[in-house]
Structure 1
């Protein structure tokens, strides 16, 4: 789900061209990105791409071809995978599970009734990411020469941490949580830019990458990062999904600017204590000091392993061999050029 800060970041976010990120490393929330591929890369009836054995391949398709396009833009992606989620997230995980089970039931009903629009909608809502899909994703990225980092906890927190210690230029995710975790810069839509169909409508829109800088956001709002976290807690996070009933993001901003933090707002009677059914300090701590580590994995592009890519995509999952070979040639050229651009970018800082 992530925290919905859209209304208060609108004035500071800006479109960013992929070329503006040429030569820069971007730490990417892998799970978030793979879910985007699973939702967006579909057959005409809304069902995901599958191989001859009925196994889903949408995520592999997106990771291979879209990542190549990103590298061709001169960007060095670092994919960060989730570890064990915090215990506080269990309620949100269970909610998502129930939502997917409900979507699966409605999907079966829509198939029986031949409702095309409903099939597409519920097929996307029912998407699941299995352990096997995760491991294959890591294997493909490694074969492509793309840096892969295993987070001890949440991937988004680790991607933000990598950015906060300047091992990447920005963190990439569709969620705004990266800002709460301390990312200096958040890039959205990096893996799904281009024309996309709006949910449940026969309308296509142009999706462009967006950049949000934490320092600019905090300055614009007149708050600090801890206060931004308190705003998120009031409207609901993955650790307290319901937030405080009746409080939206703009109201939360007003309250925190007036009282500095949630506890003061409760003390002054602005927020009723009876509406707080979660541990404020514990949730705040999960954002301020999440479980992260300094990566020991390589964070550089490497030469791709053509044999492993062919084995995984063509032999195991029935991808078109000519298309994959063409992709490999593009990838090899892109890696060579991206490494050259990164080297030049690094040299430029000395002149």
Structure 2
């Protein structure tokens, strides 16, 4: 997922404390749900499920992360993807094939008792489907969290909302957000401060990337950063074989972007991809105002509906400053 710009962005990431993050933040919802479904699993890769076999990893992730956000003064607005553009269809199909293959490998690994391989393949088989989206939106509604439906890419809508000044920053793991023009991107806002990478657990801390500072440091325009993305490969094009972020940076800085594409991909027109990043479909029809959390409704959905422990839900609700039996959160406003 996303565009592989890490190698040239690394020097422009700055550590940021949780105390510096209060305010309204646009959350890349699909990216966040994907994280929950990928990470919140049993040792053999099986996701959290209720007694009926329904996946609940995403609901657990939403409950505890938002509780953590609220306790720290972060007011999230979840922005969901809309209909994918035709440019993305090839990427969607390729990802579907990879997930299906990973799912088969996961089942085989479970059968032979290879727990490490099973966990790895299970993560690769993660998918955010309609049921995940629907139940997530239901829980967010009970929490009083604003939800925005993007007409297209959620990252684009989130970037637009920050650029307009309605939100302070975008929360996402994907660097695509910068290509869409997000002034500020914040990554690694995990509850535990831990993340599993290639089978090992590492400590991660919140980091902030400011687009203007990044462009100034790299001596690039935003259009040139998009050119690097196109060379490396985005959700909307496969990229040039053998070109990583550092090589792409050199090509663009030398003014050889068009020549390299003509040499390697003579039939490819980068203009529609450039247009997608510069002028994506977005909407102004949204609200970032939080509603009143319904503590009893949250408990009814999670405990009665999905077998969550009432004790764990009550603990999470402490982050909302909500006690069982209360249905409002006056201190939040």
TM-score per shorter chain, which class? over 0.9
After TM superposition, give the deviation of residue 65 of structure 1 in Å: 1.0
Q: CA RMSD in A?
A: 1.7
Q: Distance in 2 between matches of 1:165 and 1:19?
A: 24
1:30-49 residue pairs with structure 2 within 5 A?
A: 30-49=29-48
TM-score, structure 1 as length reference: 0.89
Worse-superposed segment, 10-19 or 307-316:
307-316
8 Å contact from structure 1 (residues 104, 126) kept in 2: yes
Distance 2:114 2:41 in 1: 17
Instruction: Give 2:315's aligned residue.
Output: 326
Cα separation, 1, equivalents of 2:267 and 2:293? 50
Q: Deviations over 1:186-232 (max 9, x none)?
A: 0111246512333323xx32111110000000000111101110110
Q: CA deviation at 1:59?
A: 0.2
Q: Provide the residue aligned with 1:303 in structure 2.
A: 292
For residues 205-260 of structure 1, what are the alpha-carbon distances to aligned partners after superposition, in whole Å with 9 as ceiling and x for unaligned? Answer: 2111110000000000111101110110011101012x11222211211221221x
Once the two structures are superposed, what CA deviation does each residue of 1:317-350 show, in whole Å capped at 9, x if it has no partner? 00012221332343135965553xxxxxxxxxxx
* Cα distance change on mapping 1:120 and 1:277 into 2, 3 Å: farther
Q: Number of residue pairs matched? A: 328
Whether 1:275 aligns to 2:265 is yes
Q: Does 1:143 find its partner at 2:142?
A: yes
- Partners of 1:276 and 1:168 lie apart in 2 by 41
Contact kept? 2:261, 2:268, Cα under 8 Å: no
* 1:92-103 equivalence runs, <5 A: 92-103=91-102
In 2, distance between residues paired with 1:254 and 1:336?
54
Instruction: Give the whole-Å Cα distance in 2 for the aligned partners of 1:192 and 1:98.
Output: 32
> 2:230 aligned with 1:233, yes or no?
yes
Task: Please state if 1:208 is matched with 2:205.
Answer: yes
Q: Are 1:240 and 1:278, in contact at CA under 8 Å, matched by a contact in 2?
A: no
- How far off its partner does 1:58 sit? 0.3
Distance of 2:243 and 2:132 partners within structure 1: 38
Partner of 2:274: 284
Which residue matches 1:160? 159
TM-score normalised over the length of structure 2: 0.94
> 2:301 maps to which residue?
312
Bigger mean CA offset, 7-16 vs 189-198: 189-198
Deviation string for 1:121-147 (max 9, x for gaps)? 111111222201101101101110111
CA distance in structure 2 between the aligned counterparts of 1:307 and 1:276, rounded to whole angstroms: 60
- Aligned ranges 1:100-249 → 2 under 5 Å: 100-191=99-190, 194-201=193-200, 204-241=201-238, 243-249=239-245
Deviation at 1:102, TM superposition (A): 0.4
Alignment partners' CA distance in 1, 2:268 and 2:106? 34
Unaligned residue ranges in structure 1 (runs of 5+): 340-351
